Amino acid sequence: MLTIFLKSARLIGEAIGYCEQDIGDSFFEYRLRELIYEGVLEIKGVPAGIKTDTTLKK
């Protein structure tokens, strides 16, 4: 099985682009971090640097 990782900043940017409401990137960053802690998303990197260098498993 092929594992694909996405840059978290790109994922947050896409989510903001699709969102019709005015929601800041800090909310999306919070939600990503919570999904990582709950085990829904897999991470390669450190959750503290989620906007800069973290990659998430697709």
Helix (H) or strand (E) holding 32: helix 25-37
Is the pLDDT score of 50 beyond 80? no
Query: What's the average model confidence in pLDDT over 15-33?
Result: 89
Cβ count within 10 A of residue 53: 12
Q: How far apart are CA 16 and CA 31, in angstroms?
A: 13
The pLDDT of residue 18 = 92
The residues, ordered by sequence, that sit 6+ positions from 21 with a Cβ below 8 Å of its Cβ are: none
pLDDT band at residue 7 using 50, 70 and 90 as cut-offs: confident
